[in-house]
Structure 1
C-alpha cells in the first residue's frame, strides 16, 4: 500500500516542478492627486446712508467698494455679478411709505482695482448707462482669463423719491450675487 501513495506523491512533486511560474513583464499603478482651489466670493459694504432728500427729488450716492475674489485657480476664470434691489420702505410699508425697485437706478462705474489676467467688463460704465433694478441686472463680469483674480468697483445708486412719499428713514437691500 505504500508504493501507490509514494508514486502518487512523486507524481505530484513532478507536476509542481515541471510548471514554470508566469511573471508579468510590467505593471501599472494609477496615481491621482488634487490641486485644491478656494472659492468665488463677493464682498460688499454692510450698510450705507445716502443722506436726506425731500419727496419729489432724487437721492444719489455711492455704495462703497464691491469686490469679487476668484480663488478657484480655474483654467477659464470667468464670472458674472448680478445686482437687484428690494423695495425701500419706512413705517408700515404702505403705498406712500414704499419706493419700488423701478425707481432705483444703478451703475457700476469702471473697475477701481483688478488683479490677475483677463478682461473685466463693467455692466454700466457711466451714469448715462444706469439701469433700474426692477429686475436683476449684470453689474460686472469677467469674460476671459485664467487663474486667480479680483475686481473692485464702487457703484452708484440714484433713487427717485415720489412726490407723495411720506417722511421717514427708508431702508432697502441691494443684493450683489456672483456666479
Structure 2
C-alpha cells in the first residue's frame, strides 16, 4: 500500500425531492442536509462509514401512507473512468430507527432499522414509511448511515456523488 493512495469523499451532495400525491390539498415535504464530508480512507483497505445527518418528512392534510425512497449516483473523480469510479453498488445505506416524530402517526417503519439490514444503492431503495391518522401536520425524522466499500482498483482522489431522498 502507498500512503498517498487515499480516496476522499469530501463532496457528497445530498438532495431531496417531493412528489405529487392525492388528494391535491395534501402536502409532503422532505428536508435533508445539503452536503456531507465522509472523510478519507486508504484505497482498498475497507470502508468509509458516516451518518448523513437528519432527514425529516413533514406531511400536512394527509390521512394515509407516505414512503421515502433513496438512491445514489456513482462516486467519481477526474473524468470518471473505470479507475476513477466507485460504483453505487459499493455504497450501502441504512436508515436506522426513527429519531423524532410529531403529530398523529400510527406506524413508522424504517427501511433498514439496523446496520445488519443495510442495502446497496445499486437501485432505488425504501428509506422510511409512515401512516398518518389525521390532516394535522406530522413529522418523522431519522439519521441514515452511508457505508462506502473502497475498492482497491480505484485511483486516489476526491470523489463526489449524489444521494437523493424523495417522498411520495
Question: Normalising TM by the smaller chain, what interval?
Answer: 0.7 to 0.9
CA apart distance, 1:43:
0.3
Q: CA RMSD in A?
A: 1.4
Please identify which structure carries the higher strand content. 2
Which residue does 1:143 correspond to in 2?
Answer: 131
Q: Between Structure 1 and Structure 2, whose CA radius of gyration is higher?
A: 1
Q: Which runs of 5+ in 2 are unaligned?
A: 1-23
> Is 1:83 paired with 2:46?
no
Aligned residues: 142
Higher relative CO (CA 8 A, sep ≥ 6), structure 1 or 2? 2
Distance 1:163 1:104, change over 3 A: same
Q: What is the CA deviation profile of residues 75-123 of structure 1, one whole-angstrom value per residue up to 9, with x for unaligned ones?
A: x232000000100000110001001111100000001100112211100
Which residue does 1:100 correspond to in 2?
Answer: 87
Q: What is the CA deviation profile of residues 2-31 of structure 1, one whole-angstrom value per residue up to 9, with x for unaligned ones?
A: xxxxxxxxxxxxxxxxxxxxxxxxxxxxxx
Which residue does 1:31 correspond to in 2?
Answer: none
Among residues 7, 21, 29, which one is paired with 1:41 in the alignment? 29
Q: Which runs of 5+ in 1 are unaligned?
A: 1-35
- 2: distance between equivalents of 1:62 and 1:101? 17
In the superposition, the TM-score normalised over structure 2's length comes to 0.81
Following TM superposition, the consecutive aligned residue runs of length 4 or more in structure 1 with deviations greater than 6 angstroms are none
